[in-house]
Structure formats: structure tokens, C-alpha cells
């Protein structure tokens, strides 16, 4: 292996985790002194992290269910909360389904936070 190949391989190994990690969903994140995990309620998140910088209903799905001759509607809603985590940090986007946290992800790589450190 030539010297240039070794440098390229080392560079790839060093940079790949940062590149891949930027777009991966997470199972938990730090908000102040508390760890927020998937399955947390909206109340638990708000107590730990404070009021989100933005809230948005992103989807509401209605499906019907027939049971013993009766039809009922089942509504599933998805709500996203966005937190500004501080100077130079990614925004955190939390997605809730029926009040429970189902997805934790970083915001787009071109959007970085401002202000005091709030989450990581």
C-alpha cells in the first residue's frame, strides 16, 4: 500500500463516523442534567428541556376499524418539537406519536444553534 492510499484510508476512517452520525436517529439525548430516551412523554420532555423553540403537527392519520359490526376511527398524530441546543450545536428534532417520543434526530447540518448550551 502506498503512502497516499494509507492517508486516504486513515482520513476515511476518521471522517466516516462524523458524517454518518450527523444523519442517524438517536435513542437518547442529554437535556440539561437529564437523559431523554425514546418512549418519554411530552410532559417528561418539557419538564427536562423546557418549552420547545417550535412545535408542529406533521401528520395525522385516521383509519377505521370494524369490530362486532361497529366501525370506529383511530387517530394517530405525529407532532415534532424542535430545540435550539446552543452555539454551534445541531438543533434537536423530537417526533412524538400519540404523546410518546418515537424519533430523536439532529436538524439539518446547515442549521446550527445560537445562545446558551441547552442540550447535546
Tell me, yes or no, if the pTM score tops 0.95: no
Residue 14 scores a pLDDT above 60: no
In a domain, 117, yes or no: no
In a domain, 116, yes or no: no
Q: Is the dihedral of CA 5, 9, 11, 15 positive or negative?
A: positive
In a domain, 113, yes or no: no
How far is Cα 12 from Cα 117, in angstroms, rounded to an integer? Answer: 30
How far is Cα 53 from Cα 45, in angstroms, rounded to an integer? Answer: 13
In a domain, 111, yes or no: no
Please count the structural domains in the chain.
1
In a domain, 18, yes or no: no
What are 61-118's pLDDT values in tens digits?
Answer: 777 778 888 888 777 889 999 998 888 888 899 999 989 999 999 988 777 888 888 8
| Residue carrying the nine cell digits 494509507 | 6
In a domain, 19, yes or no: no
Q: Which domain holds residue 99?
A: 26-106
Please report the pLDDT score of residue 88 as a whole number.
Answer: 86
In a domain, 91, yes or no: yes
In a domain, 60, yes or no: yes
What are 37-69's pLDDT values in tens digits?
Answer: 999 999 999 999 999 999 998 877 777 778 888
How far is Cα 2 from Cα 111, in angstroms, rounded to an integer? Answer: 39
Amino acid at each position: 500500500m502506498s503512502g497516499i492510499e494509507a492517508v486516504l484510508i486513515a482520513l476515511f476512517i476518521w471522517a466516516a463516523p462524523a458524517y454518518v452520525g450527523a444523519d442517524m436517529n438517536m435513542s437518547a439525548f442529554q437535556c440539561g442534567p437529564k437523559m431523554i430516551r425514546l418512549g418519554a412523554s411530552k410532559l417528561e420532555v418539557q419538564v427536562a428541556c423546557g418549552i420547545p423553540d417550535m412545535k408542529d403537527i406533521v401528520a395525522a392519520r385516521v383509519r377505521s376499524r370494524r369490530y362486532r359490526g361497529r366501525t370506529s376511527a383511530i387517530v394517530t398524530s405525529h407532532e415534532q418539537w424542535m430545540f435550539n441546543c446552543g452555539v454551534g450545536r445541531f438543533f434537536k428534532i423530537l417526533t412524538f406519536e400519540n404523546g410518546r417520543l418515537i424519533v430523536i434526530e439532529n436538524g439539518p447540518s446547515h442549521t446550527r444553534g445560537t445562545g446558551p448550551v441547552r442540550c447535546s
